[in-house]
A and B are shown apart, each in its own frame.
Chain A
């Protein structure tokens, strides 16, 4: 399987660097690009780093053009996704969990996310799943709120 992610990395890197440079005048109070010559300017370091990032991204782009693409090594994490639907479902679970924290609170949201995510990932021992889904969020809640005196997100509904 041939996989060439380097071009994507170079493009994202260059975009981030150029984006940071473009944001300097707006995001660092009236500082212009001349700040690169003024070490006292708050824009000095960000401009320097953004320029370095753009330069290295361009170098990566140029270097990869000269180099032949190579097959993936065993155990390599790069490369195409094996189970895209499951990945998308897991990612959606995480986003929904974040959204649910404010609405239904940490405990209820955690019970739901453990159940849904475990089922998504293929866990089918329902008794154990129910026990874990109930015990862990309650345990974490008690450890944080009663043991460490740290409040966890409380929901608007519960």
Chain B
């Protein structure tokens, strides 16, 4: 494995690839620091720019953006009590309280060190587990992939919103849209309504840009007051004492493990990991009373937890071709645009690229440490850029990016419709992630399902007669049961609260 890593680094590393990773990292930190601009939105808007770049330039840039944006979200969370990204929501609990006590620099540095350590440890997990998992996954056939795709979709639908049914409806809608275009087996056209632009199907990237960026423009536009921030807390002061860092180390290590584990599961991204890690740290803390009032341990746990998910979300994407969350769904699209098809064969066909990227992930961590420290001093003004000028600029990037995908105005129209649909979904509480991931997985799921049934002598029994498929099905059923049970408990609890009030 170390030899593969060294080989990948030697083959993939260049001044240009490291430079673009650094550029992505800086762009990610700055954009992530702007409240309201999420990591998903940032990557969705910037992805079309990479379609025309070489692989060694495009992918390091996007991974740098991803990493930078997740970390950047903590800066406004601490300085102005507004998380730059949803993943930094837990950081506001203690980060801003510390800033108000004049300890903003301590909070920002703790957030940075936690982010770097969590990310580094999770990257090592990624490097250690992906190749062995890919060696197992290569034995998978259509029935196993059918169950895996269904498992991923059901999990994402179940955990990404308040209502499982709404999540499943969103997933079904995404899969239906994914059916537009040519049938993968017979080549017949489906649901094209005589429109030539639809015969190739609906392009993923314009939909993603619309759903995440244009819908955000609309959501922000409807607010009475557009992000009124009166003052930013001063981020200067004394550096973080080593004793504080040492005290937070157990929480950082546990949060790294939590983030890496949750990130590897479909649907559970940084937004959930930060709260789970924060809750766990509070439960085990010697000073739980400080949480919410200015605990450095709390900042460390939340930031370590969310950053540790970044490398971990790449595990299901690289090994099975299943995006664990919306960011990896976009990254999957970027990989495919570069001619790289994530899945077990990726390690055989493009092992040098994969290991080169692993090396870059480790390197960008060190760069994050260096440039993050710089950002702490200089980025406090960025967080105050008003939405009223930011959103029109984002809109222009969205339109240019959507057009650039295939230089078609039809894609711009798709983006616009996706934006309005995304707005409607967000206003009615329908989660967007199941929709976009189903759109992406519709074709492979259909292929796997139809091939399984076609080559099966016993119909649907093929899913239980093959040992690996049966094992996965049992896991799937167990997870579904668990989700249903939790939903039932939650509904009973809510009903009893309503009854008592």
Interface residues of A, Cβ cutoff 8 Å to B: 5-6, 8-10, 13, 16-17, 20, 23, 27-29, 39-46, 49-50, 52-53, 56-57, 59-60, 63, 67-68, 70, 76-79, 81-84, 86-87, 89-91, 94-95, 97-98, 101-102, 106, 110, 113-115, 117-118, 120-123, 125, 128-129, 132-133, 136-137, 140, 143-144, 148-153
Q: Is A94's CB under 8 angstroms from B419's CB?
A: yes
Set of chain B residues within 8 Å of A90, measured between Cβ atoms: 217-218, 221-222
Determine the distance from Cα of A43 to Cα of B179 in the docked complex, in whole angstroms: 9
Name which residue of chain B comes closest to A49, CB basis: B175
* Interface flags, B408-442, vs A, CB<8A=1, else 0: 01001100100110000011111000000000000
Determine the distance from Cα of A136 to Cα of B165 in the docked complex, in whole angstroms: 42
Determine the distance from Cα of A128 to Cα of B389 in the docked complex, in whole angstroms: 9
Residue of A23, A46, A114 touching B396 (CB-CB under 8 A): A114
Report B182 CB to chain A, min CB distance, Å: 9
Report B463 CB to chain A, min CB distance, Å: 14
Set of chain A residues within 8 Å of B226, measured between Cβ atoms: 121-122
Name which residue of chain A comes closest to B445, CB basis: A45
Q: Is A28's CB under 8 angstroms from B219's CB?
A: no
Q: Is B450's CB under 8 angstroms from A6's CB?
A: no
Set of chain B residues within 8 Å of A113, measured between Cβ atoms: 392, 395-396
List the 5 closest A-B pairs by CB distance, nearest first.
A42-B183, A90-B221, A5-B428, A123-B388, A53-B172
Listed by A's residue number, 15 A-B pairs whose Cβ atoms lie within 8 Å are: A6-B429, A9-B430, A28-B191, A43-B190, A50-B172, A56-B172, A78-B428, A94-B416, A98-B409, A98-B416, A101-B399, A101-B409, A106-B403, A114-B392, A133-B392
Report B302 CB to chain A, min CB distance, Å: 17
Kindly state whether residue B404 has any CB partner on chain A within 8 Å: yes
Name which residue of chain B comes closest to A117, CB basis: B392
Q: Is B179's CB under 8 angstroms from A46's CB?
A: yes
Name which residue of chain A comes closest to B172, CB basis: A53
Q: Which of B151-204 contact A (CB under 8 A)?
A: 163, 165-166, 168-169, 172-173, 175-176, 179, 183, 185-186, 188-193
With contact pairs A9-B166, A121-B387 given, residues A77 and B219 touching in the complex (Cβ less than 8 Å)? yes
Q: Is B404's CB under 8 angstroms from A144's CB?
A: yes
Kindly state whether residue B454 has any CB partner on chain A within 8 Å: yes
Determine the distance from Cα of A123 to Cα of B392 in the docked complex, in whole angstroms: 10
Q: Is A9's CB under 8 angstroms from B186's CB?
A: no
Name which residue of chain B comes closest to A106, CB basis: B400
Q: Is A121's CB under 8 angstroms from B498's CB?
A: no
Determine the distance from Cα of A27 to Cα of B195 in the docked complex, in whole angstroms: 11
With contact pairs A113-B395, A129-B389 given, residues A84 and B173 touching in the complex (Cβ less than 8 Å)? no
Report B485 CB to chain A, min CB distance, Å: 16
Q: Is B188's CB under 8 angstroms from A28's CB?
A: yes
Report A18 CB to chain B, min CB distance, Å: 12
Kindly state whether residue B449 has any CB partner on chain A within 8 Å: yes
Q: Is B399's CB under 8 angstroms from A27's CB?
A: no
Determine the distance from Cα of A77 to Cα of B49 in the docked complex, in whole angstroms: 30
Q: Is B214's CB under 8 angstroms from A137's CB?
A: no
Name which residue of chain A comes closest to B447, CB basis: A45
Number of interface residues of B (CB under 8 A): 67
Determine the distance from Cα of A132 to Cα of B332 in the docked complex, in whole angstroms: 33
With contact pairs A91-B420, A123-B389 given, residues A40 and B185 touching in the complex (Cβ less than 8 Å)? yes
Q: Is B176's CB under 8 angstroms from A50's CB?
A: yes
Q: Is A83's CB under 8 angstroms from B221's CB?
A: yes
Residue of B388, B426, B449 touching A45 (CB-CB under 8 A): B449
Kindly state whether residue B391 has any CB partner on chain A within 8 Å: yes
Q: Is A83's CB under 8 angstroms from B222's CB?
A: yes
Determine the distance from Cα of A8 to Cα of B172 in the docked complex, in whole angstroms: 16
Q: Is B392's CB under 8 angstroms from A118's CB?
A: yes
Name which residue of chain A comes closest to B157, CB basis: A56
Set of chain B residues within 8 Å of A70, measured between Cβ atoms: 494, 498
Q: Is B191's CB under 8 angstroms from A5's CB?
A: no
Name which residue of chain B comes closest to A13, CB basis: B169
Set of chain A residues within 8 Å of B498, measured between Cβ atoms: 68, 70
Q: Is A16's CB under 8 angstroms from B163's CB?
A: no
Q: Is A40's CB under 8 angstroms from B221's CB?
A: no
With contact pairs A45-B450, A114-B396 given, residues A149 and B163 touching in the complex (Cβ less than 8 Å)? no
Residue of A77, A82, A101 touching B412 (CB-CB under 8 A): A101
Determine the distance from Cα of A97 to Cα of B400 in the docked complex, in whole angstroms: 11
With contact pairs A53-B172, A106-B403 given, residues A60 and B416 touching in the complex (Cβ less than 8 Å)? no
Set of chain A residues within 8 Å of B426, measured between Cβ atoms: 77-78
Name which residue of chain B comes closest to A149, CB basis: B52
Report B461 CB to chain A, min CB distance, Å: 14
Determine the distance from Cα of A16 to Cα of B169 in the docked complex, in whole angstroms: 10
* Interface flags, B236-255, vs A, CB<8A=1, else 0: 00000000000000000000
Q: Is B224's CB under 8 angstroms from A27's CB?
A: no
Residue of A9, A20, A46, A153 touching B169 (CB-CB under 8 A): A9
Name which residue of chain A comes closest to B499, CB basis: A68
Name which residue of chain B comes closest to A94, CB basis: B416
Determine the distance from Cα of A90 to Cα of B220 in the docked complex, in whole angstroms: 10
Report A122 CB to chain B, min CB distance, Å: 5
Set of chain A residues within 8 Å of B430, measured between Cβ atoms: 9
Name which residue of chain B comes closest to A91, CB basis: B218
Residue of A9, A52, A94, A95 touching B428 (CB-CB under 8 A): A9
Set of chain B residues within 8 Å of A140, measured between Cβ atoms: 396-397, 400
Residue of A16, A115, A150 touching B176 (CB-CB under 8 A): A16
Q: Is A98's CB under 8 angstroms from B413's CB?
A: yes
Name which residue of chain A comes closest to B438, CB basis: A49
Q: Is A97's CB under 8 angstroms from B395's CB?
A: yes
Set of chain B residues within 8 Å of A17, measured between Cβ atoms: 172, 176
Name which residue of chain A comes closest to B188, CB basis: A42
Name which residue of chain A comes closest to B48, CB basis: A150
Report A40 CB to chain B, min CB distance, Å: 7
Residue of A10, A77, A95, A144 touching B400 (CB-CB under 8 A): A144
Q: Is A5's CB under 8 angstroms from B179's CB?
A: no
Q: Is A60's CB under 8 angstroms from B190's CB?
A: no
